[in-house]
Amino acid sequence: MTLMFNGIGVSKGFAIGEAYVLHRNQVDVTARKLTKKQIPAECRRLRKAIKVAKAELLTARDNIPKDAPSDISAFIETHILMLDDGLLSDTPVDIIKAEQCNAEAALQQQREALAKVFGSMDDEYLATRIDDVNHVIDAVLRVLDNGEVVTPAENWKGQIVIADDLTPADTVLMQHNGAAGFVTETGGQLSHTAILARSLGIPAMVGVHNIRQYVKSGETLTLDGKRGLLLAEPSDNMLKELRKQKKAFKQQQRDLNKLIDKPAITQDGVELNLFANIEIEEDLKALKRVNAAGVGLYRTEFLYLNRDALPTEQEHFKDYTKVLRSLKGAMLTIRTADLGADKDFSPNHITTSGPLAHNPAMGLRGIRVCLNEPALFETQLRAILRASARGPLQILLPMLTTVAEVKQALAIIDSVKQSLTEEGIEFDPNVAVGGMVEVPAVAIAADQFAQHLDFLSIGTNDLIQYTLAIDRIDDQVNYLYDPLHPAVLQLIKHTIDAGQQAGIPVTLCGDMASDTRFVRVLLGLGLSEFSMPPNSLLAVKHSLINARRVRVRKFCMALMKTSDAKEQESLLERINRE
């Protein structure tokens, strides 16, 4: 009998193979009380386990294929650096000494403390970094338990791996040993494992709860990584159809690569700007591969994480100039730190003191943090302005709510410019300053914000969540996350119209800009600037350059006026067929 499983598709592609069900023993983290004499030996035991876990990661890094994208090693390096970080290498040792407990209990205590910090972050990408913390701690716990970290991979060739979760190191070893794809019970779109699967081109889906209870090793599986669909023991006809789809997908990928140097212009002559969102410097390599017009969103939060001291002005400056050199004259849009309510900033250190916000999404985050701590804001602004002398860039202010915030931020920017002028430091005095449209109030009053800003950038991820009052990471309510909700479309259209009336550019940098189901809707609403992860750009380009805005516009207007699901689906089909 054929069984069907639905999950979250995180890496496009099709796979056919036998199941390899990966079972890892749950490590016992029961707290044990130690005597004072036992503490030094327990500290040495923990340090040795960390050393072994690091050695395993170094081995995984060395197994990365030479022809693989050069940014892949960054994911393994992240885990290596985390093992070197004092939060995992020193703090658990301090806990062992203070609590007189075993290493497993100390690691678990530190895991719980870090989970509270990451769990209160509103930025979805940063919140999912707790997955990396868990992967690293679990690796150390497995060494403490039995001396092993990474599961042997000799049986993975041509098979679809079924697991509770996979680390980036596991994923690299799977690819190295020829695994056809993987399915996990946990995880999300933005986990490092999911991102790595997309980079390596491994079909994958996540979030299939308890699948290991229903699938046995050796069973024939088919995996559709785009739709998030897994079939166990499919019929002959199902296998025949999937093989046909697999062949067509490979041809489609070859065809998309032919678009790299093709101008981004619709069939009726609308010129488009297709930018890339980047997180870390390594994303620039992916950006170059698809010939993006520039960077529409550079998230700078990583400069502040996994460290005790705030990044210095010079650290900011070096990072930005390095990116500018790589872009070779293309525009760089730097979003100032969108840090959340989970951290208390002091001039010299980042700490987690004080109670966490009851609702971080509504708390001290984004521009609110920057205005609340002007010294932190000014340090980053000085570096950005100094870097503007090295290449074209613009400043993007996150999480705006009021025009007063814009005026206050612009006053600080002017003050920093004045200081740099007095110091004789070169910068571009005409650096553009834009604002994120993530809060419904800003979208509704977009015409007022457009009077004070040089450009607007719509962040649909937060805009949709705030408009519909749902958390899309929450399994219990994420079914309500609806980019086609009439209210959402009207807010987007109102913002685009406000920008056009003010004569300033409007970019959209949320997930909608990378989803080929919705990009023609955005085109019909009047959008011509899109910013997305680099690996989505060619598919988006293909959809847009084969469309006519004049043809899809009327269906988009109808879409804004209906909340009927069937009618929405019918209109969306028409839009994407035109």
- Which residues participate in catalysis according to the annotation? 192, 509
CA–CA gap between residue 256 and residue 249 (Å, rounded): 10
Through-space distance between the first and last CA atoms of the chain, rounded to whole angstroms: 39
- In contact, 438 and 398? CB cutoff 8 Å: yes
The separation between CA 219 and the C-alpha centre of its own chain, rounded to angstroms, equals: 33
The token pair that represents 564 in the structure block: 């009927």
Where b means 16+ CB within 10 Å and e means fewer, 316-355 reads bbebbbebbebbeebbbbbbbbbbbbbbebeeeebeeeee
Neighbours of 119 (CB within 10 A): 13
**Torsion sign (Cα): 274, 278, 284, 290:** negative
Question: Which DSSP string corresponds to 436-477?
Answer: EE-SHHHHHTHHHHHTT-SEEEE-HHHHHHHHHT--TT-TTT
Q: Which helix (H) or strand (E) holds 12?
A: none
Backbone phi and psi for residue 428, each to the nearest 5 degrees, phi listed first: -85, 115
CA–CA gap between residue 17 and residue 39 (Å, rounded): 49
CA-based nearest residue to 166, from 63, 297, 275, 75: 75
Q: Which helix (H) or strand (E) holds 251?
A: helix 236-257
Helix, strand, coil fractions of the chain, as percent rounded to 5: 50, 15, 35
The token pair that represents 97 in the structure block: 């000494």
CA–CA gap between residue 466 and residue 156 (Å, rounded): 43
Backbone phi and psi for residue 151, each to the nearest 5 degrees, phi listed first: -65, 135
- In contact, 166 and 73? CB cutoff 8 Å: no
The token pair that represents 438 in the structure block: 């993530």
